Amino acid sequence: CTTGTLYTWDASGVPEGHYYLRLTVENACGMTSTDVTVVRVDRSAPYVALSRPLDGSLICGDVEIRGISNDYDACDGSWKVEIAPKGTGSWSLLAEGSGDVSCVIAMWDTTGVADGDYDIRLAGMNVCGLEATDMVSVTVDNASGCGCSADINGDGVVNVEDLLILLAGWTT
């Protein structure tokens, strides 16, 4: 009888994709038993993209961070949103989670930081250790109130989303 690892598969030269693994064992009496499982060799980093705020935006107050992080093995992947003063690389965690994520992935209360330039980074990781990142740079300006009261959602752009928020809050 042997305990522990029966075999180690070196998949480094195997193309990405699904594979059947079959284990057949035989006992001292000559009886055999077989089990089959499917595994996936994953060599691709997750797809990540930030969509709001836009790169170069002027933001203030509560800001929605929108984006997407997904991987083939979504249930095993993870993601995080971080902020740092522009160009410093001194990242502070804003939000994190596991699995696929899209749309509003974090809220940032910018009143807790000094006005100035900041980087926002979204990183997606899979269980194989592959990581992908996307980053935008923004300017926090709480002192002037972002300079445009029509930018209701604070994403730095006056567009149909702002109009829909305004109409949704309209009462007679």
Q: Which DSSP string do the residues of 21-48 spell out, in sequence order? A: EEEEEE-TTS-EEEEEEEEEE---PPEE
In the predicted structure, residue 11 carries a pLDDT above the cut 60: yes
Higher pLDDT, 151 or 47: 47
Q: Please tell me the predicted confidence (pLDDT) of residue 73.
A: 58
- The model carries a pTM of 0.68
* Band of pLDDT at residue 2, cut at 50, 70 and 90: low
Alpha helices in the chain (DSSP H): 160-168
In the predicted structure, residue 75 carries a pLDDT above the cut 70: no
Higher pLDDT, 137 or 78: 137
pLDDT tens digits along 95-145: 998 877 778 899 999 999 999 999 999 999 887 788 999 999 999 998 887
Neighbours of 103 (CB within 10 A): 10
Average pLDDT, the chain: 86
Average pLDDT over residues 32-50: 89
Strand ranges in 12-170 using DSSP code E only, listed in sequence order: 17-26, 32-41, 47-52, 58-59, 62-70, 78-85, 92-98, 101-109, 116-125, 131-140
Task: For residues 67 and 122, give the distance between their C-alpha atoms in angstroms, rounded to a whole number.
Answer: 8
* Band of pLDDT at residue 38, cut at 50, 70 and 90: very high
Tokens 């929108």 label which residue?
66
- 50-to-65, 125, 155, 170 alpha-carbon distances in Å: 8, 15, 12, 30
In the predicted structure, residue 172 carries a pLDDT above the cut 70: no
In the predicted structure, residue 72 carries a pLDDT above the cut 70: no
Neighbours of 46 (CB within 10 A): 24
Q: Please tell me the predicted confidence (pLDDT) of residue 165.
A: 83
